[in-house]
């Protein structure tokens, strides 16, 4: 197995074009687990940690461009105020050691249905930036996840960044784990409410992380956006039903399908309440 | 003659004497040890649970880079099974035939120049099987069962009559799953032969037993075998046997003529070094309306490997937990194609107490009496079976102090009485009567020319503080500062001590050290008494104390001399003495030998909509007799409580019901508590030195775990009104 260590993005893309079998590795918190269990044995590892620009983020026009190699710890510390939903998800990842190593780019690369950041990326309408020697393109997050641990990357492409809008309303992420930390999600849910946008997505409850389109449409159409008032229980219940209906979970050692479906409804109800409260607060502040 | 009367170091919360070695990475844990020229080994394990190997092709593996040997049942000589030990039979010898008895059984061992080469080549071993339909659970009609495996079943009074006379009865079935010991340190064996001399660095809790086993299996004298285990990355019982992989590493070293090192992988730790076996227990209790117990009936069935034994009398403890005239306890084991179970911290009692103390809570609810009051009313003031007074028993004080510290009196009687947002808050408690256990032990104490002393024993420190308490004890008895005492442990060449297990080592080994110190002081006194040059010349033994680094005249500390001076004048580089301890005999003493007692009070928060259980606080009070070191003892109990939290809400080794494969054999899937799951744990010690122990010590290695699961399950019931009789208490159980 070759260990390739480019120092610039151009070099990395050239290597990836030559060696499409090379598995990109950033923090290694997923890839090394797979290697240790011999679940995969790639011809080469492509170490991305020496490429400075992948570990940077920038802000312009109400958007954050988050380099694929920014660690969860930095994301929480440096962007927690502008990307509160993503930071919430990042705080639930693993342990401090894993958050020091792990990255959103790596989460996308692994594309596990249980990956913690995916529901937020979906709910906020993030775009994933991909690059190859052929050029750059961006994909809506919902077009990125194509199957269980599968994504839309071409063999010569690398994930370079994620573009997300700065939060202007309410963002929430909730995850159910059987213990308080170091745990893979039994299921997870994210919701983002801002003017003209209602995003909601589920994790660990379908082959891919997925948006819950009907539930989003319900919010967009039915939320009292112009006169933000507390929501009736019946409204929250309806939302919860739509979310639960979109889930197609499985039974596994972490939880039953029935539990996941039920719990998603509970998370949807709770996070809607909290996100709407934040939205109402921000709406009042702007008025 | 006596030792210093003040207690400057004994009992004090002294920091671990081996702490600096450990935190600087210098403590040689078994897998840290390397020898020149060593080769590395990797196991191949079966992928079926029952049947036979029809073909085992090692051609590709033997051709792989760096491979030195591949051991299979074709190459390994017929080896005898290891000896009967004081804890039961040895595991079957490995690679003796083509039979498969459980999924994950070792079927080959690859030896190579590097660990990576061995691991890679192990994947090239081709095994063909003729699988049989495995027996995997209790209800399989083909399963062979063993009734009363240890002769511990008990009958007292007439339990049917007792139940018939009861005003209130409880009849419930409780289940506990397989749990895996999962010490953090991967078990490892490094074996080196020099001619017929064998040295083995092994992850064991019992170096003397491994020495005896290897001598017998490989046909060499015990004196030519040395087993070292000076440090261990935890064991929780997994290190109480000489497992098949240990035998294989030694055989491999003999085959290749080089030292061979075998380190298990985490998944292999689930199949190779034992586990706490699953069980089903039925408990029937009867009480009169005034909350007096009149009947206890406790039956258990647990799972056992097909060709092995395991000491796991779940129900036996219920015979002595409460004053009760009519009692039956009965244990049964069922053989299945599962990896061998082993003692896991508080074997049998962890499971049995969960059933009994849950049933007691159910009885309290049925009687409408406070659960604590029910226990106090039926407290065993004398040993319930022997009728003898306890050698020590502060269980009532455990309850009283615990209730006070926890605020039990403010607990509302009715379930579902307290709520905090979507969290339901509940409180539960459980009592613990842990059994006495002790084995004979030897130890040697030596004073050296520099005036210090050394304790030597084959007994080992499983990580609990044995180095520290023995150092404290010796320093105290010889009147030396801690810094001048060193303990050498975990080496089978040193005087034989029992296993670090059964909560019995501190009392056994400590008493042997105390005996050695007494003999040593006697020998020193003999030197000075007849020595005209000594300031203690002619002193009577009762006029001399050990203090200030030597022997002193009682009441006249200026008159005396240091050990260094005594040795120097007599031209001795050192002077040592052997000590011994033997277990007390209850009939001679007229007392029932008491183990530790304890009480746990737990508070849980249960998310009403999601079923999440979070343990928010636990108060634990332990009667461990005399506590030699308040800090290490507290850490022991804290660790036990955390193990109990794991047992209550997380730990569950899941076996695939058709293949017998363990489905969650990693730390990502087998959940143990992490820091964020462990609330503030309040631990207090009460009680007096035990009258039957030379030191007054009762071990505290296991008692902290027992009862936690019941206290939590009882708290969950108090929070939610839902009685969970099956561990672990998972999310879906509460919806």
Cβ count within 10 A of residue A8? 12
Where residue A287 falls among pLDDT bands split at 50, 70, 90? low
When pLDDT is averaged across residues A120-145 and rounded to a whole number, the result is: 98
**C-beta atoms of B674 and A258 within 8 A:** no
Cβ count within 10 A of residue B39? 25
**C-beta atoms of B677 and A181 within 8 A:** yes
3-state secondary structure of B487: strand
Cβ count within 10 A of residue B86? 11
Per-residue pLDDT for B224 more than 60? yes
Cβ count within 10 A of residue B127? 19
- % of chain B surpassing 90 pLDDT: 96
What's the pLDDT at A286? 60
pLDDT in tens, B186-198: 999 999 999 999 9
Cβ count within 10 A of residue B483? 10
How far, in Å, CA of B377 to CA of B379, rounded?
Answer: 6
How far, in Å, CA of B144 to CA of B132, rounded?
Answer: 16
Q: Within a 13 Å sphere around the CA of B118, how many CA atoms are in the beta-carbon half?
A: 27
Helix (H) or strand (E) holding B57: strand B51-57
- Tell me whether the omega of the peptide bond preceding residue B683 falls within 30 degrees of 0, making it cis: no
What's the pLDDT at A285? 67
B361 and B197 Cβ atoms separated by less than 8 Å: no
Where residue B636 falls among pLDDT bands split at 50, 70, 90? very high
| Residues of A with Cβ-Cβ distance to B123 under 8 angstroms | 38
A133 touches chain B (CB under 8 A): no
How far, in Å, CA of B175 to CA of B156, rounded?
Answer: 25
B301 forms beta bridges with: B280, B332
Per-residue pLDDT for A247 more than 70? yes
Name A71's Cβ contacts closer than 8 Å, sequence gap at least 6: A27, A55, A99, A100, A101, A102, A103
Which letter does DSSP use for residue B187 in this model?
A: P
* Strand A22-25 relative to strand A44-47, pairing: parallel
* Strand A57-60 relative to strand A63-67, pairing: antiparallel
pLDDT in tens, B267-280: 999 999 999 999 99
- Cα radius of gyration rounded to whole Å, chain B: 27
- What strands lie across the sheet with A22-25, from one edge to the other? A2-4, A44-47, A22-25
CATH number of the domain located at residue range(s) A170-286 in this protein? 3.30.390.50
* Strand B99-100 relative to strand B453-456, pairing: unpaired
Where residue B10 falls among pLDDT bands split at 50, 70, 90? confident
Chain B interface residues (partner A, CB cutoff 8 A): 123, 422, 609-612, 614, 650, 654, 663-664, 666, 668-669, 671, 673-677, 730-732, 735
How far, in Å, CA of B27 to CA of B20, rounded?
Answer: 9
Give the fold, CATH level 3, of A2-165: 3.30.465
| Residues of A with Cβ-Cβ distance to B650 under 8 angstroms | 178-179
B665-688: b or e for each residue (b if 16 or more CB lie within 10 Å)?
A: beeebbbbbbeebbbebbbbbbbe
Closest-CA distance, A53 to chain B, in angstroms, reads 32
When pLDDT is averaged across residues B628-640 and rounded to a whole number, the result is: 97
How far, in Å, CA of B489 to CA of B513, rounded?
Answer: 12
Mutate which of A36, A179, A244, A258 to disrupt the B interface (most B C-beta within 10 Å)?
A179
Helix (H) or strand (E) holding A238: helix A233-246
- In sign, the C-alpha dihedral spanning A266, A270, A275, A280 is positive
* Strand A2-4 relative to strand A44-47, pairing: parallel
When pLDDT is averaged across residues A24-53 and rounded to a whole number, the result is: 94
How far, in Å, CA of B407 to CA of B418, rounded?
Answer: 15
| Residues of A with Cβ-Cβ distance to B668 under 8 angstroms | 33, 184
**C-beta atoms of A33 and B668 within 8 A:** yes
Closest residue of chain B to A38, computed from CA coordinates? B120
Per-residue pLDDT for B1 more than 60? no
A178 touches chain B (CB under 8 A): yes
Closest-CA distance, A13 to chain B, in angstroms, reads 31
Please name the residue ranges forming H helices in B110-169: 115-122, 159-165
Size of interface A-B (CB pairs under 8 A): 49
Helix axes B466-478, B505-529, angle to 10 degrees: 30
**C-beta atoms of A176 and B731 within 8 A:** yes
Per-residue pLDDT for B682 more than 90? yes
The least confident of A237-241, A278-282, B204-208 is A278-282
pLDDT in tens, B397-453: 999 999 999 999 999 999 999 999 999 999 999 999 999 999 999 999 999 999 999
B702 is catalytic: yes
How far, in Å, CA of B503 to CA of B486, rounded?
Answer: 23
What's the pLDDT at B199? 98
3-state secondary structure of B675: helix
Helix axes A84-91, A72-79, angle to 10 degrees: 140
Closest-CA distance, B334 to chain A, in angstroms, reads 25
Closest-CA distance, B666 to chain A, in angstroms, reads 10
How far, in Å, CA of B244 to CA of A52, rounded?
Answer: 51
What's the pLDDT at B5? 46
How far, in Å, CA of A233 to CA of A16, rounded?
Answer: 52
Per-residue pLDDT for B467 more than 60? yes
Cβ count within 10 A of residue B461? 26
A255 touches chain B (CB under 8 A): yes
Name A237's Cβ contacts closer than 8 Å, sequence gap at least 6: A269
Closest residue of chain B to A184, computed from CA coordinates? B668
- In sign, the C-alpha dihedral spanning A117, A119, A123, A125 is positive
Per-residue pLDDT for B2 more than 80? no
**C-beta atoms of A266 and B676 within 8 A:** no
**C-beta atoms of A181 and B730 within 8 A:** no
Per-residue pLDDT for A284 more than 80? no
Average pLDDT, chain A: 95
Helix (H) or strand (E) holding B468: helix B466-478
Q: Could you state, in order of their start, the residue ranges of all structural domains in chain A?
A: 2-165, 170-286
3-state secondary structure of B635: helix
pLDDT in tens, B509-541: 999 999 999 999 999 999 999 999 999 999 998
User: Which of these, B693, B687, B448, lies nearest to B549 by C-alpha position?
Assistant: B448
Phi-psi region at B184: left, alpha or beta (left = phi > 0; alpha = psi -120 to 50): alpha
Residues in chain A: 287
Per-residue pLDDT for B203 more than 50? yes
Which letter does DSSP use for residue B442 in this model?
A: E
Average pLDDT, chain B: 96
When pLDDT is averaged across residues B158-183 and rounded to a whole number, the result is: 98
Closest-CA distance, A255 to chain B, in angstroms, reads 7
Mutate which of B120, B177, B178, B612 to disrupt the A interface (most A C-beta within 10 Å)?
B612
**C-beta atoms of B676 and A184 within 8 A:** no
> What would the DSSP string read from start to end of A21-51?
TEEEESS-TTHHHHHHTTS---SEEEE-TT-
How far, in Å, CA of B534 to CA of B512, rounded?
Answer: 29
**C-beta atoms of A258 and B732 within 8 A:** yes
How far, in Å, CA of B340 to CA of B305, rounded?
Answer: 5
ipTM of the complex as predicted: 0.94
User: Which of these, B638, B733, B727, lies nearest to B354 by C-alpha position?
Assistant: B727
Helix (H) or strand (E) holding B709: helix B708-720
How far, in Å, CA of B240 to CA of B311, rounded?
Answer: 12
In chain B, the domains with their CATH numbers are 4-27+439-582 (3.30.365.10), 33-133+184-234+239-272 (3.90.1170.50), 279-437+588-734 (3.30.365.10)
- What strands lie across the sheet with A57-60, from one edge to the other? A57-60, A63-67, A158-165, A127-132, A135-140
Mutate which of A180, A237, A240 to disrupt the B interface (most B C-beta within 10 Å)?
A180
pLDDT in tens, A91-105: 999 999 999 999 999
**C-beta atoms of B675 and A176 within 8 A:** no
What's the pLDDT at B420? 98
**Which value, to the nearest 10 degrees, does the dihedral of the CA atoms of residues B633, B593, B342, B116 take?**
40
A176 closest CB neighbour out of B610, B664, B674? B610
């Amino acid at each position: 197995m070759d260990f390739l260590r480019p120092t610039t993005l151009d070099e990395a893309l050239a290597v990836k074009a030559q060696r499409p079998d090379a598995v990109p590795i950033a923090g290694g918190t997923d890839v090394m687990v797979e290697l240790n269990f011999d679940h995969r044995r790639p011809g080469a590892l492509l170490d991305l940690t020496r490429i400075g620009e992948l570990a940077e983020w920038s802000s312009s026009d109400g958007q954050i461009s988050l380099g694929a190699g920014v660690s969860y710890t930095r994301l929480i510390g440096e962007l927690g105020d502008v990307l509160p939903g993503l930071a919430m998800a990042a705080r639930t990842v693993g342990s401090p050691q894993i958050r020091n190593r792990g990255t959103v780019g790596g989460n996308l690369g692994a594309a596990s249905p249980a990956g913690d950041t995916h529901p937020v990326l979906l709910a906020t309408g993030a775009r994933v930036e991909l690059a190859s020697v052929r050029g750059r393109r961006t994909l809506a997050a919902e077009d990125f996840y194509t199957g269980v641990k599968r994504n839309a990357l071409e063999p010569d492409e690398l994930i370079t960044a994620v573009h997300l809008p700065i939060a202007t309303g309410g963002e929430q992420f909730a995850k159910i784990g059987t213990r308080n930390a170091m745990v893979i999600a039994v299921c997870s849910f994210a919701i983002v409410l801002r003017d003209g946008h209602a995003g909601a997505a589920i994790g660990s409850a379908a082959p891919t992380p997925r948006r819950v389109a009907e539930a989003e449409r319900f919010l967009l159409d039915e939320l009292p956006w112009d006169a933000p008032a507390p929501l009736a229980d019946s409204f929250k219940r309806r939302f919860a039903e739509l979310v639960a209906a979109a889930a197609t979970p499985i039974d596994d050692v972490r939880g039953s399908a029935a539990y996941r479906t039920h719990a998603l409804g509970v998370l949807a109800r709770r996070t809607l309440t909290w996100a709407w409260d934040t939205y109402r607060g921000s709406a009042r502040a702007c008025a | 003659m006596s030792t210093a009367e003040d207690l400057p170091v004994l009992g004090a919360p002294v920091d671990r004497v081996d702490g600096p070695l450990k935190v600087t990475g210098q403590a040689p844990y078994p897998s840290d040890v390397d020898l020149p020229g060593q080769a590395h080994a990797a196991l191949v394990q079966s992928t079926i649970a029952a049947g036979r190997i029809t073909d085992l092709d090692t051609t590709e593996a033997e051709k792989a880079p760096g491979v030195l040997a591949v051991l299979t049942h074709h190459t390994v000589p017929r080896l005898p099974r290891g000896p009967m030990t004081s804890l039961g039979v040895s595991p079957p010898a490995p690679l003796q035939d083509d039979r498969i008895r459980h999924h994950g059984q070792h079927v080959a061992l690859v030896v190579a120049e590097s660990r990576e080469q061995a691991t890679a080549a192990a994947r090239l071993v081709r095994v063909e099987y003729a699988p049989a339909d495995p027996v995997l659970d209790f209800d399989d009609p083909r399963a062979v069962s063993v009734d009363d495996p240890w002769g511990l079943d008990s009958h007292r009074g007439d339990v049917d009559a007792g139940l018939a006379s009861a005003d209130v009865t409880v009849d419930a079935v409780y289940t506990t799953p397989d749990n895996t010991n999962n010490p953090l340190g991967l078990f490892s064996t490094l074996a080196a032969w020099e001619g017929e001399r064998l040295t083995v660095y092994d992850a064991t809790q019992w170096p003397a037993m491994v020495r005896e086993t290897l001598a017998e299996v490989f046909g060499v004298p015990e004196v030519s075998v040395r087993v070292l285990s000076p440090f261990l990355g935890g064991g929780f019982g997994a290190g109480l046997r000489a497992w098949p992989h240990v035998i294989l590493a030694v055989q491999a070293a003999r085959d290749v003529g080089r030292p061979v090192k075998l380190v298990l992988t985490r998944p292999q730790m689930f199949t190779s070094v034992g586990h706490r076996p699953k069980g089903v227990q039925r408990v029937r209790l009867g009480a009169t309306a005034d909350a007096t117990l009149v009947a206890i009936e406790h039956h258990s069935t647990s799972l056992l490997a097909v060709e092995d034994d395991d000491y796991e009398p779940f129900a036996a403890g219920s015979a002595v937990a409460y004053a009760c005239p009519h009692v039956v306890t009965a244990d049964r084991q069922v053989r299945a194609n599962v990896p061998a179970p082993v003692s896991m911290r508080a074997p049998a009692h962890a499971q049995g107490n969960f059933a009994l103390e849950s049933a007691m809570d159910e009885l309290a609810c049925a009687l409408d009496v406070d659960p604590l009051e029910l226990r106090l009313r039926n407290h065993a003031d004398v040993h319930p079976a022997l009728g003898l007074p306890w050698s020590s028993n502060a269980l009532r004080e455990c309850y009283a102090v615990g209730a006070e510290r926890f605020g039990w009196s403010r607990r509302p009687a009715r379930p579902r009485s307290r709520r905090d947002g979507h969290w339901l808050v509940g409180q539960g408690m459980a009592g613990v009567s842990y059994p006495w256990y002790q084995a004979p032990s030897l130890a040697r104490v030596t004073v050296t020319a520099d005036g210090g002393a050394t304790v030597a024993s084959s007994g080992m420190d499983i990580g609990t503080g044995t180095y520290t308490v023995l150092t404290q004890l010796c320093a105290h008895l010889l009147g030396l500062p801690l810094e001048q005492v060193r303990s050498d442990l975990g080496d089978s060449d040193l005087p034989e001590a029992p296993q670090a297990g059964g909560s019995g080592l501190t009392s056994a080994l400590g008493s042997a050290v105390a005996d050695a110190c007494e003999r040593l002081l006697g020998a020193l006194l003999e030197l000075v008494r007849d020595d005209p040059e000594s300031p203690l010349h002619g002193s009577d033994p009762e006029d001399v104390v050990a203090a200030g680094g030597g022997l002193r005249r009682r009441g006249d500390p200026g008159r005396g001399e240091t050990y260094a001076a005594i040795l120097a004048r007599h031209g001795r580089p050192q002077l040592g003495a052997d000590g011994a301890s033997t277990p007390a005999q209850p009939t001679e003493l007229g007392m029932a030998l008491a183990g530790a007692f304890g009480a746990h009070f737990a508070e849980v928060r249960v998310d009403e909509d999601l079923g999440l259980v979070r343990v928010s606080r636990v108060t634990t009070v332990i009667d461990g007799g005399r506590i030699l070191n308040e800090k290490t003892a507290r850490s022991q109990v804290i660790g036990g409580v955390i193990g109990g939290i794991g047992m209550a809400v997380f730990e569950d080794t899941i076996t695939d019901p058709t293949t017998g494969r363990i489905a969650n054999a990693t730390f990502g899937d087998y959940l143990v508590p992490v820091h964020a799951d462990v609330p503030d744990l309040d631990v207090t010690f009460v009680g007096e030195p035990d009258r039957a122990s030379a030191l007054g010590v009762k071990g505290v290695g296991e008692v902290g775990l027992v009862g936690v699961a019941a206290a939590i399950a009882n708290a969950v019931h108090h929070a939610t009104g839902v009685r969970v009789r099956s561990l672990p208490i998972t999310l879906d159980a509460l919806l």
